[in-house]
Structure 1
Amino acid sequence: MTAQTARPADAPPSWVDYLPQSLQGFARLSRFDRPIGFWLLAIPCWMGVAFAGLDVGWRATNLLYGILFGIGAIAMRGAGCTINDLADEDLDRQVARTAERPLPSGAVTRMQAYIWLAAQLAVGLVVLLFLPLAAKVVALLSIPLVVAYPFMKRITWWPQAWLGITFNWGFPVGYFTAGGNDYFWAALFYLGLIAWTVGYDTIYARQDVKDDAIVGIKSTARLFGDKTLPAVAAIYGLCALLIGIALSYGGPRVPGVMITIAFMCHLIWQLVMLKTKGDAVALQLFKSNRDAGLLIVFGIVVTITLSMLG
């Protein structure tokens, strides 16, 4: 069996195809072939570090923390996906798009998945040990959120909101790590990030509306139905408002407004694409949020740099 034929139907071509067959299942279990999740988990951490710099200035250790958060994001996103697939094995087996994933296909056994999960959590623990005490405490509080997430789509129509709380938990972790101390503006920013995630994951969930309905999985995409576009527009508007207020009043006013406008233009572009091309571009739009998030990180870092030079 070649690497190409071993790839599940829902997996994109990637470097994982060239790994030994014995390793491919573990790599796909952690979604190494879909790096967008790593980006969307790491970026809020970097945002937190950068946003704290508006309070206390830039510190040399922030670069080190940025690298650690990148490593931690890879480990914890992989752990989260492993937990999700362990919880969803029976559901995945019922859907054609996911039936060939590592667990339902038998490429990885449940015992192997648990061992792999422990290894990834161990990497996350090593990263945690390098963080300040306050950041350690905040990071540990995310564990119940991660464990509970796979079950949210069974009990609520708003699993995307839970994902937003969980996926962006790195923002307060990064903020405390870098010594941020102006909590009100940080809280507004975090709420804005939650809205951002609800919006982009609703777009992503449009791909699975029919299959989700068959197996009984709930989502905001199913909840909004034909009103998805105006609903996401309203959610993105709330996101831009909260982040804009946090950046404009919690930090330098003019740069904050400029960063927010650039970010909002990206969100508007997503809405226009969704309206004109529909669900066919849902995955493309979802992935584009890496660039939207990095735009904010870059904007804040430039703002801090210019203030230091001035």
Structure 2
Amino acid sequence: MSEAQETPEGQVADAVRGNWVDNLAPAPARPYLRLSRADRPIGTWLLLLPCWWGVMLAAAADPAGPNWFDLWIVLGCAIGAFLMRGAGCTWNDITDRDFDAAVARTKSRPIPSGQVTPKMAFAWLVAQSLIAFLILVTFNANAILLGLLSLLPVAVYPFAKRFTWWPQVFLGLAFNWGALLAWTAHTGSLGLPAILLYLGGIAWTLFYDTIYAHQDKEDDALIGVKSTARLFGDRTRGWLRGFLVATVVLMMAAALVALVPGGDILSLVIAIAGVWAMGWHMAWQLQRLDIDDGDRCLMLFRSNRDTGLLPALFFAVAALV
């Protein structure tokens, strides 16, 4: 097989090999789908899973249990996560186009590689956002308001690496907003369990995105981009252990606050088991981490789809019992 056959034209360096965008999507659509990271689905999962935590835990805490509208919340959040992750990544690539051109892993992205102009990318951002808004307005008024407020951390995040060593906090603020929104879409109002889930999700984001950032630490140092990977350095493992504990404690607290008042011990045990399963998976990542092995860091980062799925599945079972 020739090199041209092995590497489709325009493929982004860190895309999943053999992905559907590079192999099946119409050629004119590929640059835009690459802007949306459709060739790298892990980001959509990481944005979606806190949404599923929120709606599943809300349904488990509801004396009436889950309802048919919850199915739409689950599906609507999935579509919305794909669209808003795409819009957020497009915005990130517009603002970071000069940085991306200077980093080996990102210089093949559509804007720095010349596949898409910044104006074309902005039009694509608007189109994705408008479709996502049509989904949002099917929810209740408080959930719609929360959805609109989520645009603030999304807008700020790309600039965070320029002024703070903790840009992963801003990513966590944006990526876990769905826990607040989906809880509210079921209950009609924001509650303490959703806030605790949100904080637990931020701790989880600090865990996985610090691992991810270790891929770029050398290039980031050259161009002056800040990250927790550069900040922690050789102390990374200890910091990650702290984020693991914070994630488990906060999400256990969310389950306790949500389910103890209803007195359903079985649902509570199932929900807490899901949180512990998540903690076990994070510990598994920590055991295998080598911060100087970029391929290992990327593999572990991608494994966080399974990390976040564990509490989502257990919360769903807790709601159904």
What does the per-residue CA deviation read over 1:15-73, in whole Å, with 9 as the maximum and x for residues that have no partner? 11123332211111110100011111111111111111133221111001111111100
The gaps in structure 2 that reach 5 residues or longer are 260-264
The Cα shift of 1:181 comes to 5.5
Q: Aligned to 2:33, which of 23, 27, 33?
A: 27
Q: Does residue 7 of structure 1 match 2:15?
A: no
Quick one: which amino acid aligns to residue 162 of structure 1?
A: F
CA distance in 1, matches of 2:188, 2:255: 14
- For these two proteins, the number of residue pairs brought into alignment is 306
Cα 1:280–1:85 shift into 2, 3 Å: same
Given that 2:142 and 2:188 are in contact with CA atoms closer than 8 Å, whether structure 1 keeps it comes out as no
Q: Aligned to 1:16, which of 13, 21, 31?
A: 21
Quick one: which amino acid aligns to residue 26 of structure 1?
A: Y
Partner of 2:210: 202
CA distance in 1, matches of 2:189, 2:110: 44
CA distance in 2, matches of 1:100, 1:170: 30
TM-score in terms of structure 2 length: 0.91
CA distance in 1, matches of 2:121, 2:154: 16
TM-score in terms of structure 1 length: 0.94
Given that 2:52 and 2:74 are in contact with CA atoms closer than 8 Å, whether structure 1 keeps it comes out as yes
The Cα shift of 1:279 comes to 4.5
Q: Aligned to 2:274, which of 254, 259, 273?
A: 259
Partner of 2:187: helix, strand, or coil?
coil
CA distance in 1, matches of 2:208, 2:102: 26
Partner of 1:224: helix, strand, or coil?
helix
Q: Does residue 104 of structure 1 match 2:100?
A: no
CA distance in 2, matches of 1:205, 1:63: 35
Partner of 1:287: 302
CA distance in 1, matches of 2:134, 2:189: 25
Cα 1:186–1:97 shift into 2, 3 Å: closer
CA distance in 1, matches of 2:117, 2:294: 34
CA distance in 1, matches of 2:20, 2:106: 20
Partner of 1:75: 83
Cα 1:177–1:17 shift into 2, 3 Å: same
The Cα shift of 1:182 comes to 7.5
The Cα shift of 1:255 comes to 2.2
What does the per-residue CA deviation read over 1:166-190, in whole Å, with 9 as the maximum and x for residues that have no partner? 1000110000001166722322221
Q: Aligned to 1:124, which of 123, 132, 153?
A: 132
Partner of 2:262: none
Given that 1:55 and 1:181 are in contact with CA atoms closer than 8 Å, whether structure 2 keeps it comes out as no
Given that 1:75 and 1:120 are in contact with CA atoms closer than 8 Å, whether structure 2 keeps it comes out as yes
Cα 1:276–1:148 shift into 2, 3 Å: closer
Quick one: which amino acid aligns to residue 7 of structure 1?
A: Q
The Cα shift of 1:280 comes to 3.6
CA distance in 2, matches of 1:218, 1:87: 15
CA distance in 2, matches of 1:113, 1:181: 35
1:1-310 alignment, distance < 5 Å: 4-13=8-17, 14-18=19-23, 19-56=25-62, 57-179=65-187, 183-251=191-259, 252=265, 253-274=268-289, 279-306=294-321
Partner of 2:39: helix, strand, or coil?
coil
After superposition, the CA RMSD in angstroms is: 1.8
Given that 2:12 and 2:34 are in contact with CA atoms closer than 8 Å, whether structure 1 keeps it comes out as no
Percent same amino acid among aligned pairs? 43
The Cα shift of 1:275 comes to 5.3
The structure in which a higher percent of residues are helix is 1
The gaps in structure 1 that reach 5 residues or longer are none
CA distance in 1, matches of 2:197, 2:137: 26
Q: Answer with 269-278 or 168-177: which moved more.
A: 269-278
Q: Answer with 25-34 or 260-269: which moved more.
A: 260-269
Cα 1:228–1:111 shift into 2, 3 Å: same
Given that 1:72 and 1:124 are in contact with CA atoms closer than 8 Å, whether structure 2 keeps it comes out as yes
Partner of 1:11: helix, strand, or coil?
coil
